[in-house]
Chain A
């Protein structure tokens, strides 16, 4: 046996997955409450104890971890035009697995500075200007950021002509300051890979220590990446395949959790019908969106607000009753449905969360009525031909009707402008292993791919 220990230090749970690399099997999975304040290792050991130990004890050949504990990787991004470099910076941060607290555009004002000070992000991403384009914004914002009262790690990914100069200014106050390639080197060209790598580098070198996650490294080898980055990496592998082992093709992953609903798409998303023109900023092949108002527990009330009367209507409940139940979920975030009625509430809630989250993730098609006829413009990704939708996340996996929830991801003929998958097959991450497989990919992509294909179940 070649046992590998894969750990996800989550904000509420620490999830442990042990796999055997030789036979490509899961030996066990377990979870226990995360206790970052006291000692991260406690949750890990509690979870480990739930998996029967072999007679001669565990002999782990590798021990890898990812983490979203201590608030996850908190980032603030800043760019010039809201729809252009600021948006590109936001996407780069999301793709790196960050929780994007806020995105700023144009010159940072005194109140923006104050906000950044109050938000205390783990990393700042500073963009602005295409290469050879606007120079002032990067330099001015670097000056403004250098006035902050404390040091924050900064990644500079703006106009290359002044990027080094901006970094010099930032270094007067901040450490480290890493220069990456421009997130938008040319107008409407998105190039987020270099910034993503730089963010990961800073995460490894600085954030892990700052958050006290290095305590885990006494037992584990390394905390390699933020959990969402691990999930995105697993998704990419599963979509594209490795060597001769085929992947599943383009796919969508919906992660329904207590605090957020995350959607990952691994797809080009080009127009599937002839005569449609693409407009706007192109989207990354591996795209991640996070809906902070669509969580099933911590953010249940925000979800109630986002879906409006639809929840009451769907269930045939009064609005007061719906509200009481939502409040109960916020008060007891670990709550598991206790009755038939509560179960159906959970399903309805999940369904609407997925509907909205996928709606916000996918592209849309717009009909422009010229005085002489109609033309079609697409913004974002066309996912209508997408063959695979995968469900994961604590709340979804514990629900008795995951398919009822995931059905929210499907194209709705009543809203034909939203380019959701039309006839996908559904899979469930039943053993909750996607993040672990993203970690395993670092040492054995082939095994990680084969195991995902084996352990994700079609529903």
Chain B
């Protein structure tokens, strides 16, 4: 079975690096090929990396509360670049402060993300979801 490739990064002007490293480790252990573009990653960098490596999914982290502004338009740019159907996951602290998660999830769904995770999500949840979405189980 061919190894599935994922792009991992922290979007925008966000420097929170710890969760990124944990996700890198966890997904690698789970058998995925992780292309980690690190912190301070722009939308373009996510997309370029996905094109060049023929990735199956993009995992976006946003911790510092500006997730909405930073993530807006990512799906459209993917479509524009010929990878419109790629899976997009997002997680972290997507909005400022503690907010009810349902509206946040709706907001990001509307922006074209396939799965949206609340603060503090442990890696095993998205790993299970990804296996399902890629038809590995």
Contacts and interface: CB of A to CB of B under 8 A. Distances in A.
Contacts, number: 57
B21 to A, nearest CB: 15
B15 A187 contact: no
Nearest to B39: A277
Contact of B49 (A187, A279, A371, A377): A187
A133 interface: yes
Interface string B43-85: 0000011011111000000001010000000000000000000
Nearest to A371: B66
Interface of A: 80-81, 83-85, 129-130, 132-135, 184, 186-188, 277, 279, 368-372, 375, 377
Nearest to A372: B64
Given A132-B5, A184-B52, 12 more contacts: A80-B51, A84-B48, A132-B53, A132-B54, A133-B5, A368-B40, A369-B13, A371-B13, A371-B64, A372-B64, A375-B15, A377-B40
A186 to B, nearest CB: 8
A133 B53 contact: yes
Given A370-B64, A377-B40, A134 B51 contact: yes
B52 A129 contact: yes
Nearest to A86: B52
Contacts of A184: 52
A375 B13 contact: yes
B40 A85 contact: no
A188 B64 CA distance: 26
Given A133-B5, A134-B53, A187 B66 contact: no
A134 B48 CA distance: 11
A83 B48 contact: yes
Contacts of B54: 129, 132-135
Interface of B: 3, 5, 13-15, 33, 35, 37, 39-40, 48-49, 51-55, 64, 66
A135 B53 CA distance: 9
- A contact patch SS: loop
A187 B9 CA distance: 13
27 contacts: A80-B51, A80-B52, A81-B48, A81-B52, A85-B52, A129-B52, A132-B3, A132-B5, A132-B33, A132-B54, A133-B53, A134-B51, A134-B53, A134-B54, A187-B35, A187-B52, A188-B37, A368-B40, A370-B13, A370-B15, A370-B64, A371-B13, A371-B64, A372-B64, A375-B15, A375-B40, A377-B40
Contacts of A84: 48-49, 52
Contacts of B40: 277, 279, 368, 375, 377
A336 B52 CA distance: 49
Contacts of A279: 40
A351 B94 CA distance: 51
B53 A187 contact: yes
Nearest to A81: B48
B49 to A, nearest CB: 5
Contacts of A370: 13-15, 64
B52 A133 contact: yes
A277 to B, nearest CB: 7
Contacts of B55: 133
Given A277-B40, A368-B13, A377-B40, A134 B52 contact: yes
Contacts of A277: 39-40
B64 to A, nearest CB: 7
A133 B83 CA distance: 14
Nearest to A374: B13
